[in-house]
Amino acid sequence: MSLSDTVSLGAEALTLKHGKTTIIEGLDIRLPSSKVTAIVGPNGCGKSTLLNGLSRIHAPSGGVVLLDGKNIHKLPSKEVARHLALLPQDTIAPDGITVSELIRFGRHPHQSALKQWAMSDQEAIDYALKAADLSDLQERLLDTLSGGQRQRAWIAMSIAQETPLLLLDEPTSALDLGHQIEVFELIRELSEEGKTIAMVVHDLPSACRYADHIVAMKQGKIITQGSPKDVMTKELVMELYGVECDLIPDPMTGSPILINIKRVKS
């Protein structure tokens, strides 16, 4: 069973549970190809769970996740890994691992016990280092890098995986502003090269600025989705987070900015 090169990812009637608690029930979603999708919503709305479901980490209790139209759990996991890369939220790396060693792991889905290292692997790694702007840091220990550089190294690992799909769970949550921009701009570049990307993002303005498509979730349901300009309204912000605000377009980029944010007094 092999997959075509431009694969789509989506889910139909997806139900995901943690133990007995239902997090997501009967959800339909389809990621637009070659676009950046941002999944936003309040804490506990199920956005990370959805991402884990889409990336086959969380097995569904109902419904189906479709990779290129096929049930993702019926496909060989290695085959899936050649089409879908994933960057979880809390990454852990052993002490003493270097940037290039980390990135080499991205080649595992393309290798086997017999075919361990090929020219194409080195090319993919060089490309990933270049794309993530890490060529000068490749021999450095991961621990010694800044937060932004470290996150770029993890993304470089998924670039080396050479997948048309990339899922990122809060890729910038632990980073300061400068490092956030570093990572978001890298994500934009990858999307411009044709990757389909979905990311969970906490920060609404960043989601509007860097995503083509917003999926807004609340209590395990998608309440609206579409381009940032279309879906981002003060009513949506109110519904998602229970805060009042005004929206103005960024004078430079045109993407919506939240101003005058305040808590609703009851």
Q: Which residues bind another protein (CB under 8 A)?
A: 52, 55-57, 76-82, 84-88, 90-98, 101-102, 105-106, 108-109, 113, 139, 141, 158, 161
Residue of 253, 258, 252, 213 whose CA lies nearest to 233: 258
Residue spans of beta strands (DSSP E) within the chain: 9-18, 21-30, 36-40, 62-67, 70-71, 84-87, 165-169, 196-200, 213-218, 221-226, 243-249, 256-263
Of 116 and 260, nearer to another protein (C-beta) is 116
Q: Which is nearer to another protein, 82 or 234 (CB)?
A: 82
Provide, rounded to whole angstroms, the least separation between the CB of residue 221 and another protein: 24
And the tokens for 158?
């998924």
In angstroms, give the least distance from the CB of 133 to another protein.
Answer: 22
> Closest approach of Cβ 95 to another protein, in Å?
5
Virtual torsion, Cα 65, 160, 154, 51, nearest 10 deg: -10
Nearest to 86 by CA among 181, 6, 3, 159: 159
* Phi-psi map region of 243: left, alpha, beta (phi>0 left; psi -120 to 50 alpha): beta
> Do residues 26 and 53 make contact, with C-beta atoms less than 8 angstroms apart?
no
CB of 55 to another protein, least distance (A): 7
Residue placing its CB nearer to another protein in the complex, 92 or 264: 92
In the complex, the smallest distance separating the C-beta of residue 233 from another protein, rounded to whole angstroms, is 34
CA 93 to chain centre: 19
Contacts of 263 (CB under 8 A, 6+ apart): 242, 243, 244
Q: Residue 18 or residue 78: which is nearer to another protein going by CB?
A: 78
C-alpha span between 140 and 143 (Å, rounded): 8
> Considering beta carbons, is residue 84 or 257 the nearer one to another protein?
84
User: Nearer to another protein by C-beta: 56 or 209?
Assistant: 56
Least Å distance between CB 100 and another protein? 10
H or E element in which residue 240 lies: helix 234-241
